[in-house]
Structure 1
């Protein structure tokens, strides 16, 4: 009788002091911010969606009309999936197929505008826009921020070659080979010859030299979801999602704040949580270095982002789509209304984080931020009873009814769900519902049942967060573990 050998446990690495984080803090302080705002899926002018990232962009001076006008040092990107035909709009929005080009666009903007030590970066993102922000941080961690290439014999930037170099950086970031990993000797040589100084690349022979400034001072994220590529269905295995490259936030980001949706149930919107790599470096070093705050806030994914969504765009998608989106064909597609009370709560949370990280900078991040916070706080309490302010709640149980001619589509899907094979798997991929798991017993979870003295009021009551409107039991399950 054969026996199964006992597997050898994989040893847990002992955290070691970080040579970088134990260095003295840098003495030269950046004087100029570069602000990048990455909106969520299908958020922008075509859908007339004024998300929380949109509202932040306006606070930073971005004017969003027929075209986007941004002040110097600010870049606002509309959400993935826009600027294409209807089928591409739906497909790219669901799968995020155009994220790669947006990563390169943002990185190229930084290449043309960043200098060390003058600048530091503030990154904001919602949904796949948050994924995008984290991917750009990963590109910087891997290759630094490269210098723009010049035309031989001149000081003029060679734009095509610089763009090609930015594409190369993205390829290196996505490379599965160890030789292209951030700590590999080849990557270090690349940064030392092509890029501005990067934290972690200080002279190892001089242990007393100050560390370099992290290029990203602040990363503010609203419910990171997404993937680079279409999830695959494998027989006998199920859904196989591509690996997210940046679960750990590296030292290129000093402070990260991530608000996570507590009530979302759509399986395709599983959150990509953030953490620091405490298995690699001692926790006390990270705690001295910056802030890492992740908090679960009440509401669905689209509530936190203030994503007022309609499948049909008002303009930008062709004459037929625009006609069906007009008021004459309002029956063709319904609007998913977010809970503005919960959206204001998330916006206030982000503004408080910005204020906390603005106290030591030599420039103004958000003008009159105290007044802005007061106005948003008043909006949570004072406008909660206005018609439509608390939105539609969780619509996932009947989300297809919001699609173009949704009633007819629901009848078709009900028929197809009974079949075997790929159709059933496709439905499972996009419309499977399950409660989110809060993995950490010590997670920071907003108590929406309790009285918040800073509002003041009970957000659960103000936003009408009931089991009927929000069926998720994630919060209750987490409380049972306490």
Structure 2
């Protein structure tokens, strides 16, 4: 018997080629030379990465990262490895982060629905030997059954006919998965339905079409807990503010195995890893690996020591919507709503996050903490179990409720602010496209003027160069003809050159694609007052956003003060 460890990474993450996530760290930490137990490991890099080191397609990679194309292949990669390496009695460990977490959860749903193809089945043999082509065909048939998730009889028929069966570990084809450990599960597959009102119909139509194409369809995946899973652990981020990254919280209600879902301080990659500074993510890593060890996974001791030393609750908490990420839909995580009617008990928050709140060392005041929750940590004597240190209840419930209403109002205002910002951006993109195809007459006039002036300025130098080529032994001199001086340019040139923002237009054209060139000319040079209005609007929106952030921080700090001390 052996441990089989399957690891699926998050979007854009390719272990060993940059900042590693907790998934890749776990993959590398598995002691494959352990004298006590054989351990097989498999790592699958995330969607939005090119699988080849030599053949790359940046456009395909970008689309894959944005819309989750390739998710199907990631699920099949795990299935292939397991089917080729599993023997009855082996313990299966699954680890994933972000879309990789969704991958291992979808994979577990695949196993539950159709079982694991028996590589020793007669249908995948040719002359008594394993036939890779027949095996591939059978796996594809299994996935087709999984896609038609409403056809339960067909799934059961496939399982009965082709799935591996063993009385203890795969009774009736129901293969047992020892451990599922995921960090901040995000599916975010397909086309966003709420990015912009201008694109809502287009994206909605594209979503419907994509679900009709077998290799793009994604609405059939089963991410929930099932009877194949024995132990499930989920580390979740408290502080991420992107609606697209809202986590898929497991519904525990009908699950008979052991499950823990614990919330940690930080944004998405502060929990799952991938940032330069890993103090926060190492806390969630240490928690998960302690659980896995308790279930029989053997890890290198040097790795465990290093993670223990680097875990730091006071390390940097990143901004999930910093820079270009500001275009992600704004929506702080409401823990109570995300967990509503899904948990067997209370929401569980890790001790480290609560310490960060109450010790006031860096002003940490999350805007999603519920008024009542369980405080949890690892019990060294029994790390596999859920250990509740204390049950926390906020003081002064009436005051808490009033502050919660204030918080909701500020969040609502920021969501409206985001909507205005995005729609203005989309308007600029659309208008730029129209100007690119059908440039306004004033823009054409100005462009013609600038080209004419450039030709006038270059004429004497061109003449000198041509004369030098014709007779290189004669020194040629020519002065600029006064009739060609820029001051005598046609009247429309003088009129068009009146705007005073040409230097800003030149900078903007240098920094942006040619697609925006005519729009830039129009708003910077022809009608400069439009640029002034745009800049004023941006500054106004920015000031409102800053006031909202300050007010939200103040309200959340007041709410945190109502939580009891440790």
8 A contact 1:449–1:461 mirrored in 2: no
Are the aligned partners of 2:124 and 2:135 in contact in 1 as well (CA < 8 Å)?
Answer: no
Superposition map of 1:216-235 within 5 A: 216-232=177-193
Where does 1:101-140 land on structure 2 (aligned, <5 Å)?
A: 101-116=73-88, 118-140=89-111
Shift of 1:250: 0.5
Q: Please say which of residues 267-276 and 145-154 is displaced more in the overlay.
A: 145-154
- Inter-partner Cα distance in structure 2 for 1:443 and 1:258: 12
* Cα distance, 1:200 vs structure 2: 11
Q: 1:466 pairs with 361, 364, 375, which one? A: 364
Secondary structure in structure 2 of the residue aligned to 1:35:
strand
Give the drift of 1:41.
1.0
Partner Cα separation in structure 2 for residue 463 and residue 146 of structure 1: 54
Structure 1 465/100 Cα, relative in aligned 2: closer, same or farther at 3 Å?
farther
Deviations 1:402-455 (A, max 9, x none): xxxxxxxxxxxxxxxxxxxxxxxxx5xxx111111213471112244544xxxx
Matched-pair contact (CA < 8 Å) for 1:128–1:226 = yes
Change (3 A) 1:296 1:81: same
Distance 1:392 1:443, change over 3 A: closer
**C-alpha contact 1:119 1:215 (8 A) present in aligned 2:** no
Gap change, CA 1:252 and 1:461, over 3 Å in 2: same
Aligned residue number for residue 438 of structure 1: 335
Aligned-pair CA distance for 1:189: 2.5
Unmatched 5+ residue regions in structure 2? 51-55, 208-217, 341-345, 373-393, 395-399, 402-562
Please say if residues 224 and 272 of structure 1, whose CA atoms lie closer than 8 Å, have aligned partners that are also in contact. yes
TM superposition shift of 1:252 = 0.6
Partner of 1:154: 127
Aligned to 1:380: 311
In the alignment, what sits opposite 2:319?
Answer: 394
**Are positions 1:190 and 2:152 aligned together?**
no
User: Deviation per CA, 1:55-86, whole angstroms, max 9, x where unpaired?
Assistant: 111111589xxxxxxx9621011111111422
Measure, in 2, the Cα distance between the counterparts of 1:372 and 1:151: 41
Q: In 1, Cα distance between the equivalents of 2:82 and 2:92?
A: 9
Matched with 1:276 is 252
C-alpha contact 2:3 2:39 (8 A) present in aligned 1: no
Q: Is residue 247–residue 275 contact of structure 1 (8 Å, CA) maintained in 2? A: no
Change (3 A) 1:62 1:230: farther
- In the alignment, does 2:71 pair up with 1:95? no
TM-score under structure 2 normalisation? Answer: 0.54
Structure with greater proportional helix content: 2
Q: Show the counterpart of 1:144.
A: 115
Q: Is the 8 A contact 2:357 2:364 kept in 1?
A: no
Structure with the larger RCO, 1 or 2 (CA within 8 Å, 6+ apart): 1
Structure 2 vs 1, CA of residues 188 and 449 (structure 1 numbering), >3 Å: closer, same or farther?
A: closer
User: 2:228 is matched with which residue: 252, 255, 276?
Assistant: 252
CA RMSD of aligned residues (A): 3.5
Q: Secondary structure at the match of 1:54?
A: helix
1:413-432 equivalences in 2 (<5 Å): 431-432=328-329
- 1-side partners of 2:32 and 2:64: how far apart? 25
- Counterpart position of 1:349: 287
Quote the Cα distance in structure 2 between the aligned partners of 1:373 and 1:47: 22
2:135, 2:287 → 1: CA distance? Answer: 38
**Which structure: larger Rg?**
2
CA distance in 1, matches of 2:125, 2:112: 29
Deviations 1:380-419 (A, max 9, x none): 25xx78xxxx346214043358xxxxxxxxxxxxxxxxxx
Give the deviation of 1:147 after TM superposition: 1.4
Runs of 5+ consecutive residues of structure 1 not aligned to the other structure? 1-30, 64-70, 204-211, 309-336, 359-363, 402-426, 452-457
Distance 1:251 1:152, change over 3 A: closer
**Structure 1 residues 168 and 449, CA gap change in structure 2 (3 angstroms):** closer
Deviation at 1:226, TM superposition (A): 1.3
